[in-house]
Chains A and B, each alone.
Chain A
Amino acid sequence: MIYARGLVKRFGNFTAVDGIDVDVARGEAFGFLGPNGAGKSSTMRMIGCVSPPTAGTLRILGMDPHRQGTAIRARLGVCPQLDSLDPELTVAENLVTYARYFGIPRRTAKARAAELLDFVQLRERADSRVEPLSGGMKRRLTIARALVNNPDIALLDEPTTGLDPQARHLVWDRLFRLKQQGMTLVLTTHYMDEAEQLCDRLVVMDTGRIVAEGSPRSLIDRYSTREVVELRFPDTAPEDVAGKLAELAERVEVLPDRILLYADDGDAAAEAVHRLALGPASVLVRRSGLEDVFLHLTGRTLVD
């Protein structure tokens, strides 16, 4: 569905995307994970055929974005990072007018709009203006708008950024259904839990490059341990304690507010910390996640 080799995007002297290779297969839920400024959105804009690549090869649905941009866009559904709904139209009208841009007949467009409003649970708001909708509702409407042409690929740029936890779960639930229906999803996120929930496969991006690729599970297996012990020392500088902890775990990460011990048996490591009697304020054993993968790969946390 998407094939990229050595894809580069430069803005003047700034390189936003620095030679990435991407393959997305039909029916796959594919994620670009990385902090702000990693090049995720630039990549999405290139795939969405609104940003010509500076160098490299890009094929979408077997077509060339440079020459067949409109034909490709006719088969994509785009949910941009910033809402771009028409505030002067009602909820339903937003869907119908957008469908018309795809050449869908008015009657079909209306039926499709009603169907999609059911899908994103906005049927009661069909005749409401867009303005009074909550952030989560607007995002769901934007997702519905992206589906109006029954796209081959849905591109979702940070679909839940800025939403409260409940609204995020509603969005995830809808996206998960799309995935079950076999739609190809491509999404960017800087939320680890989002990537773990939705993505079959993902690439971790940092400063325009891909630093790792695989399923969430395989990335965790490869770049982290099974469990992690989080320690907080309120009175001591973490650096001072870290030296003493080094041999208790496979790897130790020192963050400004806590120390992470990577060990396959977290409870055993926590036990060993207790025996040292360093007096941590809190000890938490948890399973490893993508956050830990990112930390290992880049030495930084994702959301700062």
Chain B
Amino acid sequence: MRPALAVFESYLTVYRRTWRGSVLGSFVLPVLVMVGFGLGVGHFVDAGGRLGPVRYLDYIVPGQVAVTAFNQGSFESMWPVLSGFEWSRTYHSLAAAPLRIVDILGGDLLFIVFRLLTTSVVFLGIAAAFGAIHSPWAVAVPFVCALLGLAVATPVHALSARMTSDSYFSLLLRFGLIPLGLFSGVYFPVTALPSALRLLAYLSPLWHATEVCRAATLPGVPMSALALAGHLGYLAVWLVVGFWLAVLAFRRKLVS
């Protein structure tokens, strides 16, 4: 653990200087989407009365905090990882130090967890100020976001480690992250989707996290222990398989 903490520490040293720049992407934009959609689109949705006692703003807050974690987990694993191998080559210098592959990856993931937790806590605070939090279970949301973020960060780490240029990232964004962000029940229930797309949503880790976050912040959305275990278990599978793939990809790049 200590070597991974040293890697984490080096990211913090950088972040201490660059955090201001990350505020826009991590906090301002998601909050703008929340307010814009929640109040703007929500005006029409709430007039229709389909959501019952819940405002549309309240409905999208748990989805929005989840999709923010989803994007953050992915982005932190794209350019920074590619650069570490191909541009700044810092991973190579880590490999020359007495660190194992799991220490290097562990340091990356610790930093990502730190980012996920801080972002979702701040986001929830803002949402609470808008009166969009209706359950004390909301304290569990940052941890669900951390799990979701890691569940995507690990396989994306594996992908980025195998790339030699960033041209594939636009494909990953257009055909992976953006569609999943739209069709995983963040802005509307997946039951509104045609059945083929609905299947995609069920496979998406984002949908599972959104369901859990929604149950944790909205009133009257009960979730059975079994369903909860299923959702979290599914995310854990992504995390474990992703970690394993990332270890293989890192080893291939650093030990040859």
Contact = CB atoms under 8 A, between A and B. Distances in A.
Bound together = yes
Interface of A: 11, 45, 48, 50-52, 70-71, 73-74, 76, 78, 80, 82-89, 93, 97-98, 100-103, 145
A184 B142 CA distance: 51
A89 B98 contact: no
B143 to A, nearest CB: 28
Nearest to A51: B256
Contacts of A70: 98-100
A294 to B, nearest CB: 28
A73 B96 contact: yes
Nearest to B93: A84
Q: By CB atoms of chain A within 10 A, which of B18, B98, B100 has the most? A: B98
Interface string B39-60: 0000000000000000000000
Interface size class of B (residues with CB under 8 A): 20 to 34
Contacts of B100: 70
Nearest to B88: A87
Nearest to A73: B98
Can you list the 6 inter-chain pairs with the closest CB atoms, starting with the nearest?
A84-B89, A74-B98, A101-B97, A97-B10, A84-B93, A100-B6
B14 A101 contact: no
A70 B88 CA distance: 23
Interface string B145-156: 000000000000
Given A70-B100, A93-B13, A101 B88 contact: no
Contacts of A45: 256
Interface string B204-235: 00000000000000000000000000000000
A101 B92 contact: no
Given A101-B3, A103-B3, A103-B6, A50 B14 contact: no
B14 A80 contact: no
B98 A102 contact: yes
Contact of A52 (B92, B93, B97, B255): B255
B3 A84 contact: no
Given A70-B100, A103-B2, A97 B92 contact: no
7 contacts: A84-B88, A85-B90, A88-B88, A89-B13, A97-B13, A102-B97, A103-B6
Nearest to A70: B98
A80 B93 contact: yes
B166 interface: no
Contacts, number: 74
Contacts of B9: 97, 100
Nearest to A82: B89
Q: By CB atoms of chain B within 10 A, which of A11, A71, A88 has the most? A: A88
Contacts of B14: 86, 88-89
Contacts of A97: 6, 9-10, 13
A70 B246 CA distance: 20
Interface string B81-97: 00000001110111111
Interface of B: 2-3, 6-7, 9-10, 13-14, 17-18, 88-90, 92-100, 254-256
Nearest to A96: B13
Contacts of B98: 70-71, 73-74, 101-103
A78 B96 contact: yes
A48 to B, nearest CB: 6
Given A83-B89, A100-B9, A101-B3, A50 B99 contact: no
Contacts of B95: 50
A45 B95 CA distance: 11
B89 A50 contact: no
A104 B18 CA distance: 25
Given A50-B254, A86-B90, A93-B13, A80 B6 contact: no
A84 B90 contact: yes
Given A84-B90, A84-B93, A93-B13, A101 B255 contact: no
B101 to A, nearest CB: 11
Nearest to B15: A88
A85 to B, nearest CB: 8
A89 B96 contact: no
Nearest to B3: A101
Nearest to B7: A101
Q: By CB atoms of chain B within 10 A, which of A82, A84, A93, A102 has the most? A: A84
A149 to B, nearest CB: 8
A284 to B, nearest CB: 42
Nearest to B95: A50
A85 B2 CA distance: 22
Contacts of A52: 255
A97 B94 CA distance: 10
Q: By CB atoms of chain A within 10 A, which of B7, B9, B18, B93 has the most? A: B93
B96 A50 contact: yes
A102 B89 CA distance: 19
Contacts of A100: 6, 9-10
A173 to B, nearest CB: 24
